[in-house]
């Protein structure tokens, strides 16, 4: 595809050779994904959370960008740890494990990044005394928006594709082979963006019940990723015996946990309604 969108240089400046400098499509998409998502979330925290914690719109807006810095750092660390764990056979011996720290060479997994971001978010919210359930419910749709944009970067970069398919696949330059693979990045991009629109629309009602919107995110995205993983199967690996990949195993667990959370939230609120009506 187009892993490099732009090349500058090399050129001379004051008798020094500079460059070449590259603009990578994946990096650009990730920057756009994070920028859009954090901005929209900051706007919502200023509108909805600021009155709850007694600060101004501008303060909440700025604090959200501070939160974004910690989330980005933690998500990168988490994404790399998950990748190394999933591909631990590639990092054997002292020299092999030293490669695990070379994040700039690629190798990040979404679920690891998601879990890293959640940990950073919980710690930050507890420190700032923001309502955690409300904060996570507000951000849920924007996780899907950012992921959708990120998958465009995967497609342009020629990574995260699916199985070989002679009829519906396409060749990704720079991939492990020159065979046609299913463009599962585009499938997930479309699914993520559709779920973003649905969740953003539903949030107007679900936001009344703490943790319900983020639980719906886990349930719906988990199903989407679980299904897509059937077309991204690594035939040489099995996880928890029955799953095709580590991401599919995590997706299955996420669906079950999120569904249980949804049921508990709805049941708890159903119990509270009679008391409120008295």
pLDDT digit string (tens) for 97-148? 666 666 655 677 888 889 999 999 999 999 999 999 999 999 999 999 999 9
Mean of the pLDDT values across residues 213-230? 96
- Please tell me which residue, 76 or 200, carries the higher pLDDT value: 200
The predicted model scores a pTM of 0.88
Nearest CA among 235, 239, 257 for reference residue 249: 239
User: Encoding tokens for residue 158?
Assistant: 């020629």
> In the block, which residue shows the tokens 């020299």?
95
Confidence of residue 235 (pLDDT cuts 50, 70, 90): low
Give pLDDT, residue 278: 40
C-alpha–C-alpha distance, residues 149 and 103, integer Å: 21
Q: Alpha helix (H) ranges present in 158-211?
A: 184-206
Name beta bridge partners: 6: 23
- Please tell me which residue, 1 or 251, carries the higher pLDDT value: 251
Mean of the pLDDT values across residues 248-265? 95
Helices (H) and strands (E) in the chain, counts: 9, 6
Confidence of residue 24 (pLDDT cuts 50, 70, 90): confident
HSE (side-chain half, CA atoms, 13 Å) at 120: 20
Name beta bridge partners: 7: 22
Domain spans, the chain: 25-277
Confidence of residue 85 (pLDDT cuts 50, 70, 90): confident
């Amino acid at each position: 595809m187009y892993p490099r969108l732009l090349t500058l240089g090399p050129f001379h400046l004051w008798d020094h050779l500079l460059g070449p400098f590259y603009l990578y499509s994946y990096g650009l998409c990730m920057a756009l994904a994070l920028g859009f998502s954090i901005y929209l979330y900051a706007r919502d925290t200023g509108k909805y959370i600021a009155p709850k914690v007694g600060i101004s719109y501008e303060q909440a807006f700025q604090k959200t960008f501070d939160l974004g810095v910690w989330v980005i750092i933690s998500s990168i660390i988490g994404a790399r740890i998950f990748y190394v764990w999933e591909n631990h056979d590639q990092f054997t011996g002292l020299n092999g494990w030293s490669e695990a720290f070379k994040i700039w060479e690629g190798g990040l997994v979404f679920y690891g990044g998601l879990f890293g971001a959640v940990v950073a978010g919980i710690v930050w919210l507890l420190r700032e005394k923001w309502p955690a359930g409300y904060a996570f419910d507000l951000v849920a749709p924007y996780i899907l928006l950012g992921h959708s944009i990120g998958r465009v970067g995967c497609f342009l970069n020629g990574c995260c594709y699916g199985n070989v398919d002679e009829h519906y696949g396409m060749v990704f330059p720079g991939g492990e082979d020159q065979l046609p693979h299913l463009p599962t990045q585009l499938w997930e991009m479309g699914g993520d963006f559709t779920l973003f629109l649905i969740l953003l629309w539903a949030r107007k009602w679900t936001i009344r019940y703490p943790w319900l919107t983020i639980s719906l995110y886990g349930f719906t995205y988990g199903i989407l990723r679980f299904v897509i993983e059937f077309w991204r199967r690594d035939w040489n690996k099995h996880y928890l015996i029955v799953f095709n990949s580590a991401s599919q195993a995590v997706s299955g667990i996420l669906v079950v946990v999120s569904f249980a959370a949804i049921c508990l939230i709805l049941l708890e609120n159903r119990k509270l309604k009679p008391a409120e009506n008295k």
